[in-house]
Amino acid sequence: MSCFSLRARVEEHLRQIYGARETQELEAITDRLLSAMGLRAEAPCLGQGVEQPSQWSAADAYLISYGDSIYREGEKPLHSLYRFLKQELDGVVSAVHLLPFFPYTSDDGFAVMDFTSVNQTLGDWEDIEAIAGDFVLMADLVINHISSRSAWFENFQAGVDPGRDYFICRDPAEDLSRVVRPRASELLREVQTVAGPRHVWCTFGPDQVDLDFSNPELLVEFARIVHLYLQRGVRVFRLDAIAFLWKQVGSDCLHRPQTHEIVRLLRTLVLHAEPAALLVTETNVPSRENLSYFGNGNEAHMVYNFPLPPLLLHTLYAGDCHALSEWLMSMPAPPLGSTYFNFIASHDGIGLRPVEGILSELERDRMVAMVEQLGGRVSVRKLEGRVVPYELNISLFDALSASYQGSDPWQQARFLCAHCLMLALQGVPAFYIHSLLATPNDYERLLHTGNARSINRHRWSADRLAEALENSQSPQRQVLEAMRSLLAIRRQQPALHPNASQYVLQLGSEVFGVWRQSLGQHQTLFALTNVTDRVQCVSLHSVNLDAAVEWRELLSGVRLAPDQASIELQPYQSVWLSSL
């Protein structure tokens, strides 16, 4: 898209979204959007950031955490979390994804009551700014829906502004069977309003009411919200559930052209307000659909790599990396100025939709049964009148406590193997706090909330966590130290830059391998991982190591002998072979 001014570009975005609107109306909306973002209409139009090949490096790693994942009696949880970050993770992770820290009514923060204030039980904006002062701060823009107890929704029921026209009402007699949803609850919820009973659209459940972006007033509202977050130090915006944003009856209501154009509009606005800010799209959908949010290098800077968690789980359960390798070979290199957001655990469960078309139903069902056997839960969704598995709810540490071969002593090795493999892949790595801390399933919290996801949303007492980290034999201490070591090694490797070239090696089903080449081709790195519980011998000839080059194994620091013909991998061991 070419234009001479920011105003012209924003107006063109709006024309793509609201094509039937009068020019005068689009101009008025444009002016209000720019004003809400604190931008000058006459400002020159910048590029979309694709000229910058590297907005990240091998030193980047994200931590994902709730504001109260660590708490101490008598102290604001954000203070407790900040202390942990400074004491244990300063120089280890570069960025923090702080999950919704706003007042809310359900879904552990994602049914937001007020987008502009901090939940007082966590802290205040000063606490948010303190974290943003020492780490790159990522925050959720919960843009698809809002709490049914929010002021906006109460105004809708009362027929007053703001909120009167912010929600989607449909006749329950309409055919909405094509709508794709991640839940088994009813799509429409009946509510009482001053105009009588209405049926509002609720993609994620009755307490999370979808917003109607066919009303451009909502774009202006969210521009104000984005501007506020930027002022408070947020530099990365996670666009929560963005795939569901635009509703069109008669369609599946996923990935509509207007949704993609709104992402492009947000990127334009954010770029001009803060060139260092980034957009990350959260789309828990099949792989090809997920990749569409790169656009032409003009939508998301990063997309969540959703197939990775279930594929790694399948790989380590089966001791077979075939599906993982096949999937990675099909993955395109991200557009210039974009990359993947790699993770293998998060506050949500392990989604199964992303491996549709990658794993068979038999492979999926075997994985579901394994998670249930290990004490996990399985969330479901409705699909064409039937209920199907949607998400695996279990802590990753417990999920990797066994394989299809049965119980064994390899839990910690298998767990570290999964993260070591992730760290070798193209993209920026992200660690859920409970993975860094080897947190087991929280059955007490699960029983208290009745929400399957609570099993993996433990709240650590700061004192108990300190005790665990002081114990050299605890999995918390051992895992955290191992992760620190891995990240310290990784940040020194140009070949592990998020955009460095990546090629999948063909080493059989028991050993997964990737070949990484730094952007300036100064470093070649081969990452090999034994995904089985048996020793594997890998021929260095099959890896195609250049015999004229000296090689070192980075994780152990050992140099390979010039005439070495093979390398032996212990169960779940990874090696990173680097040219010297």
240, 320, 398, 533: the catalytic one is 240
Structure tokens at 569: 């991998």
C-beta separation of 14 from 25 below 8 A: no
Residue 348 annotated as part of some ligand binding site: yes
Q: Is 161 a catalytic residue?
A: no
Core vs surface per residue 373-403: b (16+ CB within 10 A) or e: ebbbbbbbbbeeeeeebbbbbbbbbbbbbbb
Instruction: Report the relative pairing of strands 558-559 and 524-530 from DSSP bridges.
Output: unpaired
State the Cα–Cα distance between residues 382 and 312, nearest whole angstrom.
Answer: 26
Report strand pairing: 428-432 vs 62-65.
Answer: parallel
CB 39 within 8 A of CB 430: no
Residue 201 and residue 215: Cα distance in Å, rounded? 15
> Phi and psi at residue 366, in whole multiples of 5°?
-65, -40
Q: Quote the CA–CA distance of 204 and 379 in Å, as a whole number.
A: 13
For the chain, state the CA radius of gyration. 24
Q: Which of 480, 476, 448, 449 is nearest to 461 (CA)?
A: 476
Is 245 annotated to bind a ligand? Reply is no
Q: Is 239 annotated as a binding residue?
A: yes
- The verdict on whether residue 264 carries a ligand-binding annotation is no
Residue among 7, 4, 9, 29 nearest 18 (CA):
29
311 annotated as ligand-binding = no
Burial 267-282 (b: 16+ CB within 10 A, else e): bbbbbbbbeebbbbbb
DSSP notation for 168-209: -B--TTS--TT---S-SS-SEEEEEETTEEEEEE-SS-TTEE
Look at residues 225, 253, 257 and name the one whose alpha carbon lies nearest to residue 239: 225
Residues 6+ apart with CB under 8 A from 120: 103
For 438, the 3-state DSSP assignment is coil
Annotated binding site for substrate: 107, 145, 238-240, 347-348, 453
Active site residues: 240
Annotated binding site: 107, 145, 238-240, 347-348, 453
